[in-house]
């Protein structure tokens, strides 16, 4: 009889230990409720809100901690015995992985109250009911001076789904030293951004200068772009007049003529040997090294790269380089217009605060987001990470205005475009990137890549696609 | 003794007091208790996921994670998917070549360390070295390959090429499938090596002695004695590795991410990319389901056509 009893006990123990490992922890009290009920003794009730972001720009969430201090003062002034604490976390991975984590966390009711993410994800997140609409905040006094165009970046199907946290410029960096060696005068070099602005210096001109620098062996590469899928490639589509999204029909548009030109541009760059071989398979750090070590004349970058180059040692001899070093060696201009006299473009990719639909304190979160737009907090983030302000008040901040790097690109906001917020845009973007990769690697011509792209998009997006011939 | 006593008591109890429940409990109680936890685990971690994938394959679940049944739409979409032809071809190439390399290397290593090298300690050292990648995390193992194939002049391969005045190459772009097959084939060989080694060691020594007395050549000993003796392990390892390779994608994901373009994208990786990169959980599951069917067909072929079912029948020697 002893054996069965032992067996039962052992099995029960084993089962308990295994199953306890499978527990999803839902029984643990939600953090947001921490401190509830403590108010009775005069001690303030502590409400903990969580805020998550991705990457090295921690001011996106640290500013929320500072904003909580202001919110607490306001709560105290209103006579409420309550204190808001913000717990922050930054995910060290890609934005795609970050949004995946947020969705899975939402399903297991562990999502952070505030989630900072690229604006193009709001369509996907709102469709899945992961986030709350924030139309009330649009009408709030705190956001009355937000640059109106930024509301477009968070609007999806007529509602506001996020609050812009920052915006940026994606300039073309040009190497002043290489242009000088080509015989350009200082005046010509400094006037280049203006010539691009007026449409006098076109995309073709840019390619020609790159060819000249390459043929004279003054630069190892003529042009370098990012080595992974990203918004920059769509900026080029806009430059060729593409329509990417039909907001009324809520469908993605495959603008064949513009996309053909987009593919032709990258194909030509590769055929003329202006790009590094296999650029689309490189690691990002190698692209930074190419730029910082002055091996390329032009680089399709982002203003925040100045922060990347100051944070990591990319230069072979100097290591980390500061903004002063960058400004001495590089100029920044808009993406030149495709046509003579045309309008140049850039693309902004605002990071936005979204609010989890699982938050237990939507009112407090909304109030917190009203405090975080404070111009001083914005400036702190903008100066540290090289981003542009989202409100007029922050654009007037003296510290921001005095910054040479940011001051030089602030005008680019007038030429900006955004990615569509459609939930399937990542599929479109991924397919376009594969087509660009195919033409750059010489595996396909722009014509055959376009044909395959059409088949692929029709299959992937089905009814969600409009084909514009 | 205890067992005999219990066996003697059973018929007596049955005759005197027929208690069906008690009898059932007595017969199945202990096996149920012992097997219960494991059956539960198998259900939760093996059967449930398969059932979920089957159901998911008939839904259009996307990032919103809503279970909306859509009939055969995912399979129709798969039929018109322009990438699928190339991906299937990639899968056949990847599985076929990796499997061949696995088995060939595994058998060669086993022969080397048990037949050609008779000193057990030397054989053991060689086998242990080959096991090292197996016990290191895939990320570390792949990192070593990435360093080896690094496109800069500092990469190991390019440093070696430089010795012969050859220009630097980007192997992962020029020959991505070769790189994937090499990385997978070398790590997979250790599994076959261990099984074949023990099988070769279990061949009675008399056979080798008799062969030598008869003047048999090495080639003859390998092909007429060793290979026929390890036929069943060979069959088992081939099937096992085949099924593993069909569903494995982690080394490809880490090494080439399926690229450049889709040159190293295999079915399992495509299923992963569709589900977790494009958030098409329904479509990703449909691809996975097709893969399950292919695996079942392969198993059936091995089982019936190559007569693997004979392997588990009782020995005819006795």
- Please report the number of interchain residue pairs, chain A to chain B, with beta-carbon separation below 8 angstroms: 74
φ/ψ (deg, to 5) at A355: -115, 125
Hey, is the C-beta of B83 within 8 angstroms of any chain A C-beta? yes
Residue B18: pLDDT band (50, 70, 90) is: low
User: Among A243-257, B21-35, B302-316, where is mean pLDDT lowest?
Assistant: B302-316
Question: Is the Cβ pair A427, B278 closer than 8 Å?
Answer: yes
* Domain housing B28: 2-43
Of B10, B28, B43, which marks where a domain is finished? B43
Distance CA B242, CA B97 (A): 11
Question: Is the Cβ pair A124, B82 closer than 8 Å?
Answer: no
Distance CA A455, CA B83 (A): 10
Q: Which CATH class is domain A46-167+349-417?
A: alpha beta
Q: Are B31 and B147 in a shared domain?
A: no
What are the chain A neighbours of B151 within 8 Å (beta carbons)?
278
Distance of CA A383 to the CA centre of its chain: 17
Hey, is the C-beta of B79 within 8 angstroms of any chain A C-beta? no
Per-residue DSSP letter, A91: E
Convert the pLDDT of each residue in A330-344 to its tens digit.
Answer: 999 999 999 999 999
What are the chain B neighbours of A443 within 8 Å (beta carbons)?
261
Question: Which pLDDT score is estimated for A354?
Answer: 97
Question: Is the Cβ pair A441, B37 closer than 8 Å?
Answer: no
Q: Are B31 and B94 in a shared domain?
A: no
Does any domain span residue B76? no
Minimal Cβ distance to B151: which of A22, A278, A443: A278
Question: Which pLDDT score is estimated for A448?
Answer: 95
pLDDT at B119 over 50: yes
This prediction has a pTM of 0.82
Question: Which pLDDT score is estimated for B259?
Answer: 81
pLDDT at A306 over 60: yes
Q: Are B116 and B214 in a shared domain?
A: yes
What CATH number did the domain enclosing B148 receive? 1.10.3720.10
Question: Which pLDDT score is estimated for A35?
Answer: 41
Mean pLDDT of chain A: 90
Residue B168: pLDDT band (50, 70, 90) is: confident
Question: Is the Cβ pair B279, A127 closer than 8 Å?
Answer: no
Does any domain span residue B78? no
Q: Are B129 and B229 in a shared domain?
A: yes
Does any domain span residue B58? no
Residue B318: pLDDT band (50, 70, 90) is: very low
Q: Are B141 and B206 in a shared domain?
A: yes
Residue A25: pLDDT band (50, 70, 90) is: very low
Total residues belonging to chain A = 469
Residue A187: pLDDT band (50, 70, 90) is: very high
pLDDT at A125 over 70: yes
pLDDT at B59 over 70: yes
In this structure, the number of other CB atoms found within 10 A of the CB of residue A109 comes to: 12
- Do residues A87 and A48 touch, judged by C-beta distance below 8 A? yes
Average pLDDT of span B2-29? 62
pLDDT at A52 over 50: yes
Distance CA A358, CA A30 (A): 11
- State the nearest Cα–Cα gap between B36 and chain A, in angstroms: 8
Minimal Cβ distance to B260: which of A15, A281, A427: A281
Q: Are B25 and B133 in a shared domain?
A: no
pLDDT at A23 over 80: no
Give residue ranges of A with CB < 8 Å to any B CB: 3-4, 7-8, 11, 14-15, 18, 22, 96, 100, 103, 107, 124-125, 127-129, 277-278, 280-281, 423, 426-427, 430, 434, 437-438, 441, 443, 452, 455-456, 459-460, 462
Q: Are B13 and B125 in a shared domain?
A: no
pLDDT at A18 over 50: no
pLDDT at B96 over 50: yes
Distance CA B250, CA B253 (A): 5
Average pLDDT of span A309-332? 95
pLDDT at B5 over 50: no
Convert the pLDDT of each residue in A157-172 to its tens digit.
Answer: 999 999 999 999 899 9
Average pLDDT of span B134-139? 89
For B:249-288, CB contacts with A below 8 A are 259-262, 276-279
Taking the alpha carbons at both ends of chain B, their separation in whole angstroms is 28
Query: H/E element holding B214?
Result: none
Q: Bigger pLDDT: B2 or B70?
A: B70
User: Among A117-131, A233-247, B128-142, where is mean pLDDT lowest?
Assistant: B128-142
Hey, is the C-beta of B49 within 8 angstroms of any chain A C-beta? no
Question: Which pLDDT score is estimated for A334?
Answer: 96
Minimal Cβ distance to A423: which of B44, B63, B80: B63
Where do runs of H (alpha helix) occur along A144-301? 148-152, 176-181, 186-197, 203-215, 232-239, 256-271, 284-292
Nearest 10 degrees: Cα torsion A400, A405, A408, A414: -70
Could you report the predicted ipTM of this complex, rounded to two decimals? 0.79
Parallel, antiparallel or unpaired: strands A114-118 and A351-355: antiparallel
- Tell me how many domains chain B contains: 2
Average pLDDT of span B118-129? 88
pLDDT at A322 over 80: yes
Nearest CA in chain A to B78: A459
Residue B14: pLDDT band (50, 70, 90) is: very low
Distance CA B193, CA B131 (A): 9
Q: Cβ neighbours of residue B174 under 8 Å, at least 6 residues apart?
A: none
Question: Which pLDDT score is estimated for A114?
Answer: 98
Q: Are B135 and B252 in a shared domain?
A: yes
Q: Cβ neighbours of residue A343 under 8 Å, at least 6 residues apart?
A: A199, A337, A415
What are the chain A neighbours of B44 within 8 Å (beta carbons)?
22
Nearest CA in chain A to B64: A128
For B:172-231, CB contacts with A below 8 A are 172-173
Question: Is the Cβ pair B173, A11 closer than 8 Å?
Answer: no
Angle at which helix A446-461 crosses helix A425-440, to 10 degrees, equals 160
Q: Are B15 and B98 in a shared domain?
A: no
What are the chain B neighbours of A430 within 8 Å (beta carbons)?
277-278
Average pLDDT of span B246-267? 92
- Do residues B265 and B90 touch, judged by C-beta distance below 8 A? yes
Helix (H, G, I), strand (E, B), or coil: what is residue A247?
coil
Question: Which pLDDT score is estimated for B311?
Answer: 67
- State the nearest Cα–Cα gap between B118 and chain A, in angstroms: 44
Does any domain span residue B68? no
Identical topology for domains A46-167+349-417 and A172-348+421-468? yes
Q: Parse chain A into domains and list their residue ranges.
A: 46-167+349-417, 172-348+421-468
In this structure, the number of other CB atoms found within 10 A of the CB of residue A450 comes to: 20
Angle at B192 between CA B188 and CA B193, to 5 degrees: 100
DSSP A267-313: HHHHHTT-SPTTGGGS-HHHHHHHHHTT-EEEEE--TTHHHHHHHS-
Question: Is the Cβ pair B64, A8 closer than 8 Å?
Answer: no
Question: Which pLDDT score is estimated for B301?
Answer: 87
Does any domain span residue B149? yes
Q: Which CATH class is domain A172-348+421-468?
A: alpha beta
Find where tokens 């398979």 sit. Answer: A281
Burial A216-234 (b: 16+ CB within 10 A, else e): eebbebbbbbbbebbbbbb
- Do residues A369 and A163 touch, judged by C-beta distance below 8 A? yes
Distance CA B270, CA B276 (A): 10
């Amino acid at each position: 009889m002893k054996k069965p009893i032992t067996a039962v006990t052992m099995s029960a123990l084993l089962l308990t230990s295994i199953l306890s490992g499978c527990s999803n922890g839902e029984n643990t009290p939600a953090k947001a409720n921490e401190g509830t009920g403590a108010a009775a003794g005069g001690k303030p009730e502590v409400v903990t809100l969580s805020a998550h972001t991705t990457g090295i720009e921690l001011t996106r969430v640290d500013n929320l901690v500072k904003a909580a201090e202001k919110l607490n003062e306001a709560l105290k002034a209103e006579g409420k015995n309550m204190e808001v604490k913000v717990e922050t976390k930054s995910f060290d991975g890609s934005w795609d992985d970050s949004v995946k984590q947020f969705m899975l966390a939402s399903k297991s009711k562990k999502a952070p109250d505030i989630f900072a993410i690229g604006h193009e994800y709001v369509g996907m997140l709102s469709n899945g009911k992961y986030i709350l609409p924030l139309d009330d905040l649009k009408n709030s006094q705190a956001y009355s001076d937000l640059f109106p165009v930024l509301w477009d970046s968070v609007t999806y199907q007529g509602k506001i789904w996020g609050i812009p946290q920052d915006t940026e410029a994606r300039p073309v960096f040009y190497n002043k030293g290489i242009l000088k060696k080509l015989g350009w005068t200082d005046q010509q070099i400094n006037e280049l951004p203006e010539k691009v602005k007026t449409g006098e210096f076109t995309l073709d001109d840019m390619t020609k200068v790159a060819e000249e620098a390459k043929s004279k062996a003054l630069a190892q590469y003529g042009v370098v772009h990012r080595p992974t899928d990203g918004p920059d490639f769509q900026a080029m589509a806009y430059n060729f007049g593409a329509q990417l999204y039909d907001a009324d029909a809520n469908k993605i548009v495959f603008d064949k003529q513009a996309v053909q030109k987009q593919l032709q541009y990258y194909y030509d760059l590769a055929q003329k040997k202006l790009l590094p071989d296999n650029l689309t398979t490189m690691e990002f750090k190698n692209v930074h090294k190419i730029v910082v070590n002055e091996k390329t004349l032009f680089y399709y970058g982002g203003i925040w790269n100045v922060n990347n180059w100051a944070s990591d040692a990319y230069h072979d001899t100097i290591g980390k380089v500061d903004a002063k070093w960058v400004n001495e060696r590089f100029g920044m201009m808009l993406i030149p217009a495709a046509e003579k006299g045309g309008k140049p473009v850039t693309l902004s990719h605002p990071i936005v605060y979204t609010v989890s639909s699982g938050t237990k304190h939507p009112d407090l979160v909304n109030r917190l987001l009203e405090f975080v737009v404070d111009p001083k907090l914005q400036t702190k983030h903008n100066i540290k990470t090289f981003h542009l302000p989202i409100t007029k008040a922050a654009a007037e901040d003296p510290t921001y205005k005095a910054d040479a790097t940011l001051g030089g690109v602030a005008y680019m906001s007038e030429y900006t475009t955004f990615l569509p917020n459609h939930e399937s845009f990542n599929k479109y973007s991924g397919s376009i990137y594969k087509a660009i990769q195919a033409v750059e690697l010489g595996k396909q011509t722009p014509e055959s890549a376009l044909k395959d792209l059409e088949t692929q998009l029709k299959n992937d997006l089905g009814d969600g696609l409009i084909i514009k011939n | 003794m205890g067992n005999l006593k219990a066996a003697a008591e059973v018929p007596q109890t049955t005759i005197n007091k027929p208690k069906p429940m008690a009898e059932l409990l007595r017969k199945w109680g202990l096996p149920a208790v012992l097997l219960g936890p494991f059956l539960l685990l198998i259900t939760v971690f093996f059967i449930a996921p398969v059932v979920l994938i089957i159901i998911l394959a008939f839904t259009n679940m996307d990032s919103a994670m809503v279970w909306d049944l859509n009939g055969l739409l995912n399979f129709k979409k798969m039929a018109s998917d322009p990438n699928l032809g190339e991906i299937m071809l990639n899968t056949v190439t990847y599985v076929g070549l990796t499997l061949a390399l696995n088995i060939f290397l595994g058998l060669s290593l086993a022969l080397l360390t048990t037949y050609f090298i008779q000193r057990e300690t030397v054989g053991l050292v060689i086998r242990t070295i080959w096991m090292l990648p197996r016990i290191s995390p895939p990320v570390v193992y792949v990192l070593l390959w990435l360093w080896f194939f690094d496109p800069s002049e500092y990469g190991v391969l390019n440093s070696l090429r430089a010795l012969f005045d050859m220009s630097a190459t980007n192997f992962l772009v020029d020959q991505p499938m070769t790189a994937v097959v090499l990385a997978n084939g070398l790590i997979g060989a250790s599994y076959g090596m261990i099984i074949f080694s023990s099988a070769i060691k279990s061949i009675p020594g008399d056979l080798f002695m008799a062969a030598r007395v008869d003047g048999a050549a090495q080639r003859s000993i390998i092909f007429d004695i060793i290979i026929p003796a390890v036929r069943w392990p060979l069959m088992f390892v081939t099937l096992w590795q085949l099924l593993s390779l069909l569903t494995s994608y982690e080394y490809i994901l880490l090494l080439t991410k399926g690229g450049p373009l889709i040159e190293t994208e295999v079915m399992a990786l495509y299923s992963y990319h569709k589900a977790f990169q494009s958030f098409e959980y329904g479509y990703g599951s449909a691809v996975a389901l097709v893969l399950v069917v292919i695996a079942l067909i392969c198993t059936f072929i091995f089982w019936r056509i190559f007569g693997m079912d004979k392997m588990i029948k009782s020995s005819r020697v006795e």
